[in-house]
Amino acid sequence: MANAKKITKNADGSHNVPDSPVIPFIEGDGIGPDIWRATRMVIDAAVEKAYAGRRRIEWQELPVGEKGYEKTGSYLPEGALAAIEENVVAIKGPLTTPIGKGIRSLNVAIRQKLDLYACVRPVRYIETVPSPMKHPEKIDMVVFRENTEDLYAGIEWESGTPEADQVADFMKTAMGVDLPPESGIGIKPISPANTKRLVASAIAHALENGFSSVTLMHKGNIMKYTEGAFAKWGYQVAEERFGDRTVSEARLWEDFDGKVPAGKIVIKDRIADMLFQQVLLRPDEYGVIATPNLNGDYLSDALAAQVGGLGMAPGANIGDRCAVFEATHGTAPKYAGMDKVNPGSLILSGAMMLDYMGWKEAGTAVRAAVQAAIKARRVTYDLARQIEGAQEVKCSEFAAAIVAQMQ
């Protein structure tokens, strides 16, 4: 497209989005091509509906994963990473990590190499979608999961290796810590700088989107200097950067008799295992949740199960330089090429991408049409087998049904 231009970023973090932005996409492996075709159909239709031809997206494919290996000999070509950073916004399907060779995890590698430190997972109920909850309509949360450290930093040594023995010997001789023989050893780094930028982005999101609280999820009663520090640093950044718009839960009761002052949101913390119970029993008491990596991995999937499963769960990985929006599920290779699976996760991630670009009218159009299509009970097999009176349709037909609701 002759007038296609790149999205750029300003010094304050805001975006300059042209009417015809270039947006890279990674089709993905397994079911990736099926759900990407469906997603592109829906996003293009939403942009057309919202802006009547004044705006459109110029898509640029990046060969990553199996396709990247076939074309370049690399599962994650450096050129693809450069293109994502250069264009600021990208979207991707699920990627298979090769067994026994190459990168430990393609998804983790993309996040770490581009410093996409916030894994953002909104969880909100869509009417008619089957749920194990009595009142799934009460669920409206966004999980901000730290993406670059904690156990996902991947610092570990295998049992019986010289490296593991060396670390164990150092811990015994220098630190007085005696590990069981032949232990596999992993390191769990959590730092103040990375914690504060993650929590700051969570608080900013809560303020911008009308949430009443940010909860710091941690296991600090046991891991005091990592997860406990996460909570401590989270409270610190709330005071340092948002002191005029936030109040801690302790101060809320000490100074305001439990009544939230106008214009402020509450910063609170919960022990990880207790929060799993709370989001089941009292989900309406929680809005934005900020958490170290592993906790967020578990919690976001558990919350997704409450509103229909990973097939309907959108997600994004966002940093200061760029953002990648992605399906939150795997490649499901047994369904590859069958035009069968639910594309909802990637479609709703596309709606998040449109919001991020400032094209909120198009993002709203996507979500409204998804809701309408599901209410009309024209859905893929995973939903059809649970919704009474539903008509099972293919992946592409579900996308077409969503587009039809826009029209």
Is residue 282 part of an annotated ligand binding site?
Answer: no
In a domain, residue 315? The reply is: no
Residues 239 and 226 in one domain: yes
Q: What is the pLDDT of residue 291?
A: 98
In a domain, residue 127? The reply is: no
Is residue 124 part of an annotated ligand binding site?
Answer: no
Question: What are 247's two structure tokens?
Answer: 């109040």
Residues 365 and 271 in one domain: no
In a domain, residue 386? The reply is: yes
Q: What is the pLDDT of residue 14?
A: 86
Q: Is the pLDDT of residue 305 over 80?
A: yes
Q: 245-256, pLDDT tens digit by residue? A: 999 999 999 989
**Cα–Cα distance between 269 and 285 in angstroms, integer?**
12
Is residue 3 part of an annotated ligand binding site?
Answer: no
Q: What is the pLDDT of residue 60?
A: 96
Interacting residues of 345 by C-beta distance below 8 A, sequence separation 6+: 35, 310, 311, 312, 313, 314, 315, 327, 328, 329
Residues 169 and 98 in one domain: no
**Cα–Cα distance between 71 and 286 in angstroms, integer?**
46
**Cα–Cα distance between 21 and 229 in angstroms, integer?**
41
Band (pLDDT 50/70/90 cuts) for residue 101 is low
Q: What is the pLDDT of residue 13?
A: 81
Domain closes at, from 277, 306, 335: 306
Band (pLDDT 50/70/90 cuts) for residue 141 is very high
Q: Is the pLDDT of residue 405 over 60?
A: yes
Question: What are 193's two structure tokens?
Answer: 């700088």
Is residue 334 part of an annotated ligand binding site?
Answer: yes
Cβ atoms of 324 and 110 closer than 8 Å: yes
Residues 51 and 81 in one domain: yes
Is residue 148 part of an annotated ligand binding site?
Answer: no
Domain with 298 in it: what CATH number? 3.40.718.10
Mean pLDDT in residue range 146-163 = 92
Residues 69 and 28 in one domain: yes
**DSSP assignment, residue 260?**
P
Is residue 105 part of an annotated ligand binding site?
Answer: yes
In a domain, residue 126? The reply is: no
In a domain, residue 312? The reply is: no
Mean pLDDT in residue range 337-341 = 94
Residues 207 and 272 in one domain: yes
Residues 60 and 209 in one domain: no
**Cα–Cα distance between 115 and 39 in angstroms, integer?**
26
Residues 165 and 73 in one domain: no
**Cα–Cα distance between 147 and 351 in angstroms, integer?**
21
Is residue 385 part of an annotated ligand binding site?
Answer: yes
Residues 158 and 101 in one domain: no
Task: Indicate the residue type of 288.
Answer: V
Longest dimension (CA), the chain: 71
Residues 297 and 333 in one domain: no
Q: How far is CA 80 from CA 2, 14, 68, 74, 158, in A?
A: 22, 23, 9, 11, 31
Domain count, the chain: 3
Residues identified as active-site:
152, 219, 273, 297
Q: Is the pLDDT of residue 295 over 80?
A: yes
Residues 216 and 286 in one domain: yes
Interacting residues of 182 by C-beta distance below 8 A, sequence separation 6+: 159, 160, 164
Domain that residue 64 falls in: 1-119+320-407
Helix axes 106-113, 78-87, angle to 10 degrees: 50
Least-confidence region, from 47-51, 100-104, 210-214:
100-104
Q: Is the pLDDT of residue 102 over 70?
A: no
Q: What is the pLDDT of residue 97?
A: 72
Question: What is the average pLDDT score of the chain?
Answer: 93
Least-confidence region, from 70-74, 115-119, 155-159, 354-358:
70-74
Interacting residues of 214 by C-beta distance below 8 A, sequence separation 6+: 199, 202, 203, 206, 238, 246, 265, 266, 267, 268, 287, 288, 289, 290
Mean pLDDT in residue range 247-266 = 93
Cβ atoms of 310 and 328 closer than 8 Å: yes
Q: Which of 319, 35, 283 is nearest to 200 (CA)?
A: 319
Q: 307-333, pLDDT tens digit by residue? A: 888 888 899 999 999 999 999 888 999
Residues 141 and 204 in one domain: yes
Mean pLDDT in residue range 176-197 = 96
Q: Is the pLDDT of residue 2 over 70?
A: no
**Confidence (pTM):** 0.92
> How many DSSP H helices and E strands does the chain contain?
14, 17
**Cα–Cα distance between 350 and 6 in angstroms, integer?**
18
Task: Indicate the residue type of 57.
Answer: I
Is residue 335 part of an annotated ligand binding site?
Answer: yes
Cβ atoms of 263 and 242 closer than 8 Å: no
Q: 361-391, pLDDT tens digit by residue? A: 999 999 999 999 999 999 999 999 989 999 9
- Is the Cα dihedral 322, 328, 332, 335 positive or negative? negative
Q: What is the pLDDT of residue 4?
A: 83
Least-confidence region, from 186-190, 204-208, 259-263:
259-263
Is residue 241 part of an annotated ligand binding site?
Answer: no
